[in-house]
């Protein structure tokens, strides 16, 4: 499926990354010489995304200035200065800035490196997404291909590609890698106040319509100051193998 619109969730306070985020927004923290959100936006552009809505709250003015300085993609700001909307509420508000239709959703602090040449994870996500069978298709990763993750297992990937919540003993535990393919209309009935995106994950699981696709490459998350060094080291290891 052709997907040209995306939403990046970037409004969080980054409290676990303090004291760094006392003076700058988390998405602008540099990893390997580039702000985290630029790693994310570059992945989206490479996958053919033309327009991206980005929500802002913490150091919102700095976020806007940085985003509007980019040549691509076209950026539309979803302003959460007045109140944070949590992951689900932020997504619902941000989708209103995009044309209705298929959309990719990403977190501003989760990305990956080392994709096989010519095999974009996001392009594969768009190609695999089938709204006739799926409410959401989540990009997932094996725990042993994560950098900076706390070890939590999110889902179990079933043989048919469906996802269920992970419980001890279930097969193929995976971590949600922070990217989704979905139809924007899924959120037409979303609450107008703050809510967690997990509500929609659980609704899709109950309907048998939450699916997963395995990430190729190495997944990086930067939640704490210690994780910055881990991420930098992973970039260095990949450069050595190149």
The domain that holds 168 is classified in CATH as 3.90.550.10
Tens-digit pLDDT profile for residues 186-223 = 999 999 899 999 999 999 999 999 999 999 988 888 88
Q: What is the pLDDT of residue 148?
A: 63
pLDDT > 70: percent of the chain: 98
Higher pLDDT, residue 16 or 208: 208
> What average pLDDT does the chain have?
91
What are the residues whose beta carbons fall under 8 Å from the beta carbon of 177, sequence distance 6 or more? 110, 112, 138, 139, 140, 141, 215, 219
- Domain of residue 161: give its range: 5-241
Q: Number of folded domains in the chain? A: 1
Q: Which two tokens stand for residue 236?
A: 């260095």
What are the residues whose beta carbons fall under 8 Å from the beta carbon of 68, sequence distance 6 or more? 75
pLDDT at position 158 over 80: yes
Average pLDDT over residues 221-226: 86
Q: What is the pLDDT of residue 53?
A: 98
Q: Which two tokens stand for residue 157?
A: 């990937």
pLDDT at position 242 over 70: no
Q: How far apart are CA 138 and CA 30, in angstroms?
A: 26
């Amino acid at each position: 499926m052709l997907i040209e619109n995306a939403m990046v969730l970037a409004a969080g306070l980054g409290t676990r990354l303090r004291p760094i985020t006392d003076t700058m927004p988390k998405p602008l923290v540099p990893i390997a010489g580039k702000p985290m959100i630029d790693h994310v936006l570059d992945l989206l552009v490479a996958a053919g995304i033309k327009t991206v809505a980005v929500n802002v709250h913490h150091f919102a003015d700095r976020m806007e200035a940085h985003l509007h300085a980019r040549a691509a993609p076209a950026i539309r700001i979803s302003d959460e200065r007045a109140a944070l909307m949590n992951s689900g509420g932020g997504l619902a508000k941000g989708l209103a800035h995009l044309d209705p239709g298929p959309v990719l959703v990403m977190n501003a602090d989760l990305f990956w490196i080392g994709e096989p040449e010519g095999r974009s994870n996001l392009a594969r996500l768009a190609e695999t997404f089938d709204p006739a069978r799926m409410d959401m298709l989540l990009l997932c990763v094996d725990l042993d291909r994560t950098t900076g993750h706390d070890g939590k297992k999110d889902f179990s990937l079933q043989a048919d590609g469906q996802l269920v919540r992970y419980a001890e003993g279930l097969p193929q535990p995976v971590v949600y890698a922070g990217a989704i393919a979905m139809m924007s209309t899924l959120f037409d009935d979303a609450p107008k106040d703050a809510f967690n995106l997990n509500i929609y994950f659980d609704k899709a699981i109950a309907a048998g319509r939450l699916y997963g696709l395995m990430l190729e490459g190495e997944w990086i998350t930067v939640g704490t100051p210690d994780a910055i060094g881990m991420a930098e080291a992973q970039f260095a290891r990949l450069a050595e193998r190149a």
